Structure formats: structure tokens, C-alpha cells
Structure 1
Amino acid sequence: MKKAPTDFRRITLLVHRMEPALAIYRDILGMQTYYDKEVSVSVPGDPPDAPKSPARLVILQCNDPYVGMLGFMQLLDASSSAPAPAPRPVDARLRPGEGVLVMTHDNVEVAYEKLKGVEGVQLVEEPRVTEFPRGDGGVFRVEGFRFLDPNGFFVDLNQTGE
């Protein structure tokens, strides 16, 4: 396979609540803290001459030291005191422009049980096995479930098996 000229390092999500995000992705799902600092940032949508805003940036990593990182940024200025957006209805259909965080975990059933106790988590379904056809005529099995985290991000957590 030819090497692509681009690597996808990470995605950084703007969050209203940092601690629930860390409780899920770091404490329950086991991602490791790579970076956790207060920074000054230019906020997309602000006028070009606007002063930079203080923010907390946390970057979590999984098993690769270079790619697949997940960042969370929480603004610490006056906009951070605005009320949190209303929770997304569990049955609301995803729309263009929205995304799904697809993650693999060693034990989705244990993760599911732990997520039940996190305030603001909306579990969309219980863990279940889905079968997909493979190119060789066999079947590929994935056990997983989906949830909305307290910041409204849709997550598909799965565990692969044969």
C-alpha cells in the first residue's frame, strides 16, 4: 500500500463540561493523558482581531504515540458560563455535519456497566453482536453499543472478535 502524504493526528472537540468527558474517556475507557494545560486560543467564529481566549486543552491517547488522539477544549472565559445545550434526544437522527466517534475497547460489557453510572450519558442501546460479511465469504463479528456523552457527542464503542 502506498504511503499517504497525510496523517490524521487527532480531533479536538469543544466541550462545555471537561470533567465528565475525562471521567468517560480517561477513567472508564482507559485513554492516557498526553497533554493537559491552560492555553490561549483564537476561537473560530470570533473576529480576526479579537483577543485570544483562555482555554483548557486536554489531549488523550490510546495505543499509538502519534495518531488516533482525542482532544477536548473547554473555553474558560465568559462564554464558558453559558448554560449547557439541551441534551440531544436519543432517537434524533444524525445529520450531515455531525460525527460519530468509533472506538474499540477490550470489554464493551464492562464499559457499558460503568457508563450507566455517569451523569449525562445517554445509552442508545445495550451491547449486542452484529455480523458483517467478509470478502472471503466468512463472517466478521462485532460486539458493541452506542451512547451520547454528556457533551452531546455520539460514540460507537465496539469490540471485535471472530
Structure 2
Amino acid sequence: MRLATLMLAAALAAPACAQTASGPEKATAAAGVAKPATRVPTEVRRLTILVRNMENSLKLYRDVMGLTINYDQKLTVSGVSLPAGQPGNPVRLVLLNGNDPFIGWIGLMEYSDPPLEASDPYPKRLKAGGHVLILDVDDAVKRCGMAKNVPGVHFTAEPRLQVYPGRNGGPDIKVMGCNFFDPDGTMIEMNQIIAQ
């Protein structure tokens, strides 16, 4: 069973939708993405990742990526609505956010007494049902280098410039980024959109 429980496809999957150091409006306009004429019925709120070791995961998500903790609580779960662990399992749930106070959050959940069984073997390649968490950062080369120091991180691609065709005939989308599995097997693409 994969350790990640929810997918942030719409909010985090397209590098062109990410925020740059110049602000979200510039990145969106440059990428050819227009605000919908009418609101859609869904906001993509959060991806929650079930982790082996909370403190190690925080070294990556808080310390390397710079996300801010907005919730850190110990809870008891039923084992029913989220089909993991056992009824009455104690968990620690940490929620982190980037620049938006409502959408695009990352949740980290660690089960204890007993801990969840870990996926084995540790993934080296993605398969059907896998997922990629794409994050936009201020300095991809720097943060990719920092990620290498977190125990359990496995790199699949060093920082490099990638060029994607623009939307609707617009300019190419240039992205500096790296790819790696986090300590629990979630594939992460850490990107920085290069100004047009």
C-alpha cells in the first residue's frame, strides 16, 4: 500500500501554475493560465502523507522546503474513515502550508503504538497508482542540495533546466528542478519557474 493518502493533482501537478518569486499573477499570466470565468465546485486543499518518522519528515518539509507548521496535534483515529492502522491508534498530525492560508497544504501523519507497517521494498521507480508531488520553491538548486542531507531521501534526477511547450502558443515554460523520493517513498519534483 502506498503511504500517501490524497493527491494534490490540480494544485501541484502542473509546473506552470506554480508561484514564482515575482508573485502568482506573473507566473500564471506567463504560463497562459487564465482564472476560470466561473468558480469550479472544488478546491484542492491538502495532500496527507503517512510517515515513518515525523521528525525526519519535518527536516524535509519544514526545514528544506520552508513550509510553515499551522497544526501539530496528537489524535486518536478510528481506523475506519482512513483505512490504516487499528481502531484507537494514536497518531500525530502535522499540517504545513506555503504562501496560501487555505489551499496547497501538506499533512504529515505518524502512527504509533503500534506504528504502521512500512512499504517494502522502498520504491525506486513509479508504477500505476503512484503519484508525484510538485512543489515550487524560491531556489531549486539550493533546496535540492539541502534535500540530499535528509536521511532516507533518494534522488532520481539532479537539478537541471527543463523546457516545456507554452500553452496556447505562448512562450516556452522554463523550469529548474530536481526529483527525489522522500523518506517514505513519495516522489517529489521540486521546481523553480525561470522568468520568461
The TM-score normalised by the length of structure 1 is 0.88
* 1:83, distance to aligned residue in structure 2 (A): 6.1
Deviations 1:28-73 (A, max 9, x none): 11000010010111223369xx632110000000000011100011
Aligned pairs for 1:83-122 (under 5 A) are 85-89=120-124, 92=125, 94-122=126-154
Aligned partners of 1:146 and 1:155 also within 8 Å = yes
Between Structure 1 and Structure 2, how many residues are aligned? 156
Gaps in structure 1 of 5+ consecutive residues = none
Equivalent residue in structure 2 for 1:31, among 61, 67, 87? 67
| 8 Å contact from structure 1 (residues 16, 84) kept in 2 | no
SS at match of 2:71: strand
Query: Structure 1 CA distance, aligned partners of 2:118 and 2:127?
Result: 23
Q: Which amino acid aligns with 2:60?
A: I
Alignment of 1:112-151 (within 5 A): 112-134=144-166, 135-151=168-184
1:4 Cα deviation from its structure 2 partner: 1.1
Q: Secondary structure at the match of 1:151?
A: coil
Equivalent-residue separation in structure 2 for 1:137 and 1:59 (angstroms): 36
Q: How far apart are the structure 1 equivalents of 2:78 and 2:57?
A: 22
CA contact (8 A) 2:163 2:175 kept: yes
Cα deviation digits, residues 108-152 of structure 1 (max 9, x gap): 100111112221111111111111121235221111110011111
TM-score, structure 2 as length reference: 0.73
Name structure 2 gaps, 5 residues minimum. Answer: 1-36
Flag the structure with higher strand content: 1
Mapped partners of 1:69, 1:27: distance in 2: 15
Shift of 1:84: 6.7
Once the 2 structures are TM-superposed, how far is the Cα of residue 99 of structure 1 from its aligned partner? Answer: 0.9
Q: Name segments (4+ residues, structure 1) moved above 4 Å.
A: none
Partners of 1:115 and 1:70 lie apart in 2 by 17
Q: Distance in 1 between matches of 2:130 and 2:68?
A: 26
CA RMSD between the two structures: 1.9
